[in-house]
Structure 1
Amino acid sequence: MTESTSPTREVRGSHRVAGLLTLVEAVAVLGFAGFYVYEMVTGATEDLTRAATSGALILVFGLGLLALTRGWVRAADWPRTPTVLWNALLLPVAWSLHESDRTPVAVAVAVVAVASIGAAVSAPGRRDQAADEGGSREGGETQDPRTGGTGGRGADDRLS
C-alpha cells in the first residue's frame, strides 16, 4: 500500500491534533486488549473463548488506530474518513455510558470523539493545499476552487 503524501507536503496543526487524539484512543483501546489478556492469564474470566475473541477484536481496532495515527503524522489524505467514522461510532458509546451512570467517562469519550472529528474535518487535504498554492497543477492547468475541476472546457461547457 502506498502513502498519498508528497515530499513537499507539510504536517499542519490539525494533522498533529488528529494524530495525537487518535494515538490517545489507540492507547486506550490497546489497554482494554491488555486487560483481556490479564483476565485470561489470571483466570478471572469464566469464558476463555469469549475473552480471547474480544481481546483479539479489540487488538485489531487498536492496531488500526495506530495505522491512522501514522497516516496523520505523515499528513496522508486517507485517514480522514476512517477517523470520522470511528469517532462517530464512539458517540453512541458515550451516550450508553451516560445512561449507565458512568457520566465522567461518557463525557471524556464524547469530548475526545467530537474533538477528533473536528480535527479530522479541518485537516487540509490535497485539494485544499492545491488551492492554497494558487491552484496550479501539473501540465499548466489551473484548478477551479469552486468545483475542484480544471480550468479547461469540458464536454458540458462547449458552446453549440
Structure 2
Amino acid sequence: MSERATPMSEQSGATGHAKVAGTVCLIQAAALMAVAATYAAELLGLAGLRADDPSVASMALVLTALFAVLVAVVGVHWWRGRRWVKTPTIVWNLLLLPASITLVQANGWLIGGPIALLAVIAILAAWGSPSVDVEDVTDRP
C-alpha cells in the first residue's frame, strides 16, 4: 500500500484526533442536511413555510446539500484513517469561524455558539492529526 492510501491507524496509531475531527465533520454534515431540508420544505410549502424567492431558496438548497455531502465525505474518510482530509477540514472550519460570528450577531449564541465551538474543536483535532509524508522529488537528478 502506498503512503497516501495507508490508513492512519496502520501508520501511527494516532486515531483519537481523527475520530474527533471525523465526528465533528459528520455532525456538521447532518446540520447542513437539516438546513437543506428546511429549504426544501420552504420550496414545497410544507409545515406552513413558504419561500419568499423560490430561485434563491432552490439555489441555497443545492449549495447546502452539496456542502453537506462534501463535509460528510471528509468525515467518513477521517474515520477510515485517511490523511488527505486534514487540509479540507482546517480550511472549512476556518471559514466557519467568521460565519459563526455573524450568526451570533444576527441570531444569538444559541445558533452561532455551537457552530464556533465545533469549528474550533475540528481545527484543533485536525491540526493534531498526522500529516501526509510526501517525498521531496526536487533533489532527484
On whether the aligned pair clears a TM of 0.5, the verdict is: yes
Q: Which residue of 2 aligns with 1:114?
A: 120
Aligned with 2:25 (options 18, 22, 27): 22
Equivalent of residue 52 in structure 2, options 41, 46, 53: 46
Q: 1:4 and 2:21 equivalent? A: no
TM-score by length of 2: 0.82
> How far does residue 119 in structure 1 lie from its aligned partner after superposition?
0.5
Moved more, 93-102 or 34-43: 93-102
Partner amino acid for 2:29?
A: A
Kindly tell me the number of residue pairs found equivalent between the two proteins: 130
Instruction: Compute the TM-score of the two structures, normalised by the length of structure 1.
Output: 0.73
CA displacement, residues 33-68 of structure 1 (integer Å, 9 cap, x when unaligned): 111001111161121111111100111100000110
Q: Which has the larger radius of gyration?
A: 1
Residue of structure 2 equivalent to 1:31: 34
Stretches (4+) displaced over 4 A:
none
Asked whether the equivalents of residues 19 and 73 of structure 1 are also in contact (C-alpha less than 8 Å), the reply is yes
List per-residue Cα deviations over 1:69-96 (Å, max 9, x = no partner): 1210111111111110110011101111
The residue type equivalent to 1:105 in the other structure is: I
| Higher RCO, 1 vs 2 (CA within 8 Å, ≥6 residues apart) | 2
**What is the correspondence of 1:7-156 to structure 2 with a 5 Å cutoff?**
8-9=10-11, 10=13, 12-42=15-45, 44-127=50-133
Q: For the aligned residues, what is the CA RMSD?
A: 2.4
Q: Distance in 1 between matches of 2:111 and 2:38?
A: 17
Relative to its length, the structure with more helix (as a share) is 2
Which stretch shows the higher mean deviation, 27-36 or 5-14? 5-14
Counterpart CA distance in 2 for 1:25 and 1:44 is 25
Q: CA deviation at 1:11?
A: 6.3
